[in-house]
Amino acid sequence: MAKIKLENKYKKSDTIKDLRSKYSNKQAVLNSLYELYNSERPWQPDDLAKKALDDLFDETSSAEPKNKFVLREHTVEEISRLEKSNFPRYLRYRYAYEVFPIDQIVNSYPPAIQIEPTSVCNYRCIFCYQTDPRLSKKSNGHMGNMKFELFKNLIDQIEGHVEAVTLASRGEPTLNKNLPKMLDYMGDKFLAAKINTNASLLNETLAHNILDSGLQTVVFSADAASEPLYSKLRVHGDFDKVFTNISKFCEIKEKYYPHSKLITRVSGVSVSEEQNLDEMEDLWGALLDQVVFVQYNPWENVYDSDFSDITQPCSDLWRRFFIWWDGKTAPCDVDYLTTLSTETVFEKTISEIWNGRSYEVLRNKHLSAQRQSVEPCRRCTVV
Ligand code: SF4
């Protein structure tokens, strides 16, 4: 299959290539935010929510355009589903997510955290690290499920400090039988909680678990609107089964959760010239709120990729933090074999690792144009 031509940089702040959405009403969201901006609220001088509002509405602000907070289309949809009283909390998170990587600011906690309930996957998508047996062969020790006790401990650590928590990384989260318990424990502790799933195991019980949870977004990963393309990309996948599962999920949502604020999205990786977003929109857009193509990054094997000539720092070092099923941590999922970090959440807290010496060394190498001395960063195109 002809893969699409890659850009030489993968801009992590802006990976959505195309988004078709039914609901975003940007003007209404802007009006509500403008009301907040003009309110008599006594802001603390360093309140990130106030900084975000100033960037959006204060035309006399001296911030450089490249350092300014921006509202992205999917962010607008997220804000539109929140209670107004939660806007400041959300804006604080989102300002840190957008602007800290540009200004290279490190706070006590990362703006966004990904927790993988499992590293195991039942698919072998052509663009995914699961195709690398160094990761997916059981005897290499990378495969397993997170224990509920560890999950609980992580949630306890980040509650009140982090808003964006994604349940997913290297594996298919629904393969962990404790997922319903995990969703239940997360409750409504976070304003931007999300799960990514290939929907192959999405049954009625799990649909209720997800719809009953405090998740803000469910992302169904699918890259095509029909066979044979679907299973050429999502190897071991069965399009009809996934379509039936997602349709059933939507029926349950409509029947039992008519007031649900959950954002439903289908997201495909734009990897092949054969994919077509119009076809995706025709099929999935009838069921779900958003149809998205994200840019392809060669996740399937960074370690043997050619060197890149990028010297710019990687934004993920100031934006995201990954926790694997076994308590290991990583700055990104590009490094899926966990070569950049030796820290685990059994020895240190999340905040200690994020602010610790190893991270500082790595960030400093990126800041001083020594990215080329770091494996696998010197082969990676994320900026
Ligand atoms: S491998 Fe290095 S440059 Fe690439 S995403 Fe990870 S930390 Fe960033």
Rounded-to-integer distance, Cα 33 and Cα 262, Å:
21
Query: Closest residue (by CA) to atom 8 of ligand 1?
Result: 314
Tokens representing residue 102 in the block: 């540009």
Nearest CA owner, ligand 1 atom 6? 332
CA–CA distances in Å: residue 260 to residues 28, 217, 255: 20, 11, 11
Q: Residue 216: name the closest of 173, 252, 183, 172 by CA.
A: 183
- Please, what is the angle between helix 179-186 and helix 204-212, to 10°? 20
Select from 9, 317, 383 the residue to mutate for testing ligand 1; criterion: most ligand atoms less than 8 Å from CB.
317
Ligand 1 atom closest to residue 316's alpha carbon, by position in its atom list: 8
Ligand 1 pocket, Cβ-based, cut-off 6 angstroms: 314, 316-317, 331-332, 334-335, 376-377, 380, 382
* Cβ–Cβ under 8 Å, residues 305 and 298: yes
Nearest partner of 323 among 162, 202, 102, judged by Cα: 162
Nearest protein Cα to ligand 1, atom 3: 377
Q: Cα of 68 to ligand 1 centre, how many Å?
A: 24
Strand ranges (E), the chain? 16-21, 112-115, 164-167, 192-197, 217-221, 263-270, 290-295, 320-323, 329-330
Q: Ligand 1 mean position to 335 CA, how many Å? A: 7
Q: What radius of gyration do the chain's Cα atoms show?
A: 20
Distances (CA, A) of 300 to 27, 47, 130, 183: 40, 40, 7, 29
Q: How far is the CA of 330 from the centre of ligand 1 (A)?
A: 10
The C-alpha atoms of residue 372 and residue 31 are separated, in whole angstroms, by 45
**Residue 150: per-residue pLDDT:** 98
- Residues present in the chain in total: 383
Residue 376 alpha carbon, nearest atom of ligand 1 = 1
Instruction: Determine the straight-line distance between the first and last CA of the chain, rounded to whole angstroms.
Output: 27
- Among 1, 19, 74, 31, residue whose Cα is nearest residue 275: 1
Query: In whole angstroms, how far apart are CA 314 and each of 9, 342, 375, 377, 383?
Result: 10, 19, 13, 8, 4
Three-class secondary structure of residue 173 per DSSP? helix
Residue tagged 């100031």 (tokens) = 318
Element (H, E) at 319: helix 316-319
Tell me the best of 10, 308, 382 to mutate to test the pocket of ligand 1, counting ligand atoms within 8 Å of each CB and taking the most: 382
Contact residues for 164 (Cβ-Cβ < 8 A; gap 6+): 93, 97, 111, 112, 113, 190, 192, 193, 194
Sheet holding 217-221, edge to edge: 16-21, 290-295, 263-270, 217-221, 192-197, 164-167, 112-115, 320-323, 329-330
- Please provide residue 196's backbone torsions phi and psi, each rounded to the nearest 5 degrees: -110, 130
The rounded Å distance from CA 285 to ligand 1 centre is 33
- Best residue for ligand 1 mutational test, from 334, 372, 374 (most atoms within 8 Å of Cβ): 334
A 10 A CB-CB count for 16 gives 15
- Residue 63 burial (CB < 10 Å; 0-12/13-18/19+)? middle
Separation of 322 CA from ligand 1 center, angstroms?
A: 12
Taking CA atoms only, the protein residue closest to ligand 1 atom 2 is 377
> What is the Cα–Cα distance from 222 to 220, expressed in whole angstroms?
6
CA distance 29 to 24: 9
Residue position matching structure tokens 């010197």: 378
Distance 212 CA to ligand 1 centre (A): 35
pLDDT means over runs of 10, the chain (383 residues): 72 79 85 96 94 92 79 93 97 97 96 98 94 97 98 98 98 98 98 98 98 98 94 95 98 98 94 89 94 87 92 96 98 97 97 97 96 96 92
**Looking at residue 282, what is its pLDDT?**
92
Residue among 308, 355, 367, 304 nearest 329 (CA): 355
Cite the beta strand spans of 128-204 per DSSP E: 164-167, 192-197
Q: 17 CA to middle of ligand 1, Å?
A: 20
pLDDT at res. 4: 67
Q: How far is the CA of 135 from the centre of ligand 1 (A)?
A: 17
**364 contacts 357 by C-beta, under 8 angstroms:** no
Residue from 104, 299, 314 to probe ligand 1 pocket by mutation (most atoms less than 8 Å from CB): 314
Prediction pTM value:
0.94
In angstroms, the CA 130 to CA 95 distance is: 33
